[in-house]
Amino acid sequence: MARISVASGLPNFPWDSLTAAKDKAQSHPDGIVDLSVGTPVDPVAPIIRAALASVSDIPGYPTTVGTLALREAAVAALGRRYGITGIGVDAVLPAIGTKEMIAWLPSLLGLGNRDLVVIPELAYPTYEVGALLAGTRIIRADGLNRLGPERASLVFVNSPANPSGKVLGLEHLRKVVGWARERDAVVVSDECYLGLTWEGEALSILDPRVSDGDHTNLLAVHSLSKTSNLASYRAGFVVGDQKLVTELLEVRKHAGMMMPLPIQAAMTAALSDDEHENIQRERYRARRTTLLSAVRAAGFEVDHSEAGLYLWATRGEPCRDTIDWLAERGILAAPGEFYGPRGSQHVRIALTATDERIQTAAERLTA
């Protein structure tokens, strides 16, 4: 029997194409400044590490639904940090990293080739991958009026956005929710950067001003990778419509998608403590100030970037030319084309490097 390769239907993994640029950047006499991936470099807070160790001697299986303490901590943090109300503990479900949740959501919700999934025109690649894994149709559209008579089953929104750092305003989010409700579509809001807003205000799809307190067909995806430096822990959760969360839970129980208990304990500690998150936010704010000034001084135009961990920058040329220009200076960034055709003349420059490496990048850009 011939084996069917799922991977054959997926796009190439984008970062594999950066090998030549990375080699060039690494050849710089003072070493590479890698600003291509948004991976944390700062320490995990002691309170989180202590919680992780505190349950390391428990040998039994964890539950897919997660501990009550974790879900209570998530509900409290959402209210305290983002003003989200009306959430019960049964509307929260831990995920083994939000990338995993986003990639499998269309499949977990039972979508297939008759369904249409809407993704942003500039989009984190995993939205498209998740739709491809489920075999759905896909359309890139920021303005939903572009869909005409098309009936979507699932709409992904991302605010603050990766890669551009764009924040969707209240009226935009309300229009998305209203449009989806008229068509019985599910809205999944990727809010991994909600706690890293530098200019203006970013709102959750579950904010009462957006949802009017009704979370039907609304799901928000949250991550502790960025705000708590827990990328290696794979710590995230989905929250929103309790009926949908229950459906996800039932499928995930059958599939054995259980978050390890030590990670659940670490998440509980992270969600219960705002001090470490505030410290990390200010680290990134300082790095952003340094890098933003240098990038502009080097002749780049920076678009959006009012939130998140990236500068969305352009020199008005093909993005691969800009990648080469940066690599000659020992700096590695991500080509905007990774995120869709609209990114063909932009690069994404991450703030996730040490203070020393950010300062080094700034000096090279302004030399």
DSSP 43: P
CA distance 281 to 221: 19
List the beta bridge partners of residue 312.
303, 348
Q: Are strands 116-119 and 137-140 parallel, antiparallel or unpaired?
A: parallel
pLDDT in tens, 294-344: 999 999 999 999 999 999 999 999 999 999 999 999 999 999 998 989 999
8-17, 111-120, 258-267: segment of lowest average pLDDT: 8-17
Residue 2 clears pLDDT 90, i.e. is over it: no
Q: Which residue stretches of the chain are H helix?
A: 19-26, 46-54, 68-82, 98-108, 125-134, 170-183, 208-211, 242-255, 261-272, 275-297, 319-328, 355-366
Q: What is the mean predicted confidence (pLDDT) over 159-185?
A: 94
Q: What are phi and psi of 317, to 5 degrees?
A: -140, 170
CB 286 within 8 A of CB 355: yes
Q: What pLDDT does 174 receive?
A: 96
Tokens standing for residue 121: 């025109």
pLDDT in tens, 18-28: 889 999 999 99
Q: What pLDDT does 16 receive?
A: 76
CA distance 140 to 143: 9
Where in the chain are the domains? 13-43+276-366, 46-272
Q: Residue 208's pLDDT band (boundaries 50, 70, 90)?
A: very high
CA distance 265 to 274: 16
Report yes or no on whether pTM surpasses 0.85: yes
- Residue 320, burial from CB neighbour count under 10 angstroms (0-12, 13-18, 19+): middle
| Proportion of the chain above pLDDT 90, given as a percent | 89
Residue 5 clears pLDDT 60, i.e. is over it: no
Q: What pLDDT does 3 receive?
A: 43
- Token pair 């639904």 is at which residue? 65
Residue 9 clears pLDDT 80, i.e. is over it: no
| CATH fold of the domain at 46-272 | Aspartate Aminotransferase; domain 2 (3.40.640)
pLDDT in tens, 56-106: 999 999 999 999 999 999 999 999 999 999 999 999 999 999 999 999 999
Q: Of 106, 103, 110, 79, whose CA–CA distance to 92 is shortest?
A: 79
Residue 6 clears pLDDT 60, i.e. is over it: no
Residue 145 clears pLDDT 80, i.e. is over it: no
Q: What is the mean predicted confidence (pLDDT) over 138-163?
A: 87
Between 245 and 147, the more confident residue is 245
Average pLDDT of the chain is: 93
Q: What pLDDT does 10 receive?
A: 66
Q: Residue 149's pLDDT band (boundaries 50, 70, 90)?
A: confident
CB 251 within 8 A of CB 108: yes
Q: Give me the count of residues in the chain.
A: 367
Q: Over 195-218, what HEC string results?
A: CCECCCCCCCCCCHHHHCCCCCCE
Q: What pLDDT does 142 receive?
A: 82
Handedness of CA 237, 241, 242, 244 (dihedral sign): negative
Q: Residue 4's pLDDT band (boundaries 50, 70, 90)?
A: very low
Q: Residue 11's pLDDT band (boundaries 50, 70, 90)?
A: low
Q: Are strands 186-190 and 154-158 parallel, antiparallel or unpaired?
A: parallel
Residue 1 clears pLDDT 60, i.e. is over it: no
CATH of domain 13-43+276-366: 3.90.1150.10
Residue 362 clears pLDDT 50, i.e. is over it: yes
| Proportion of the chain above pLDDT 70, given as a percent | 95
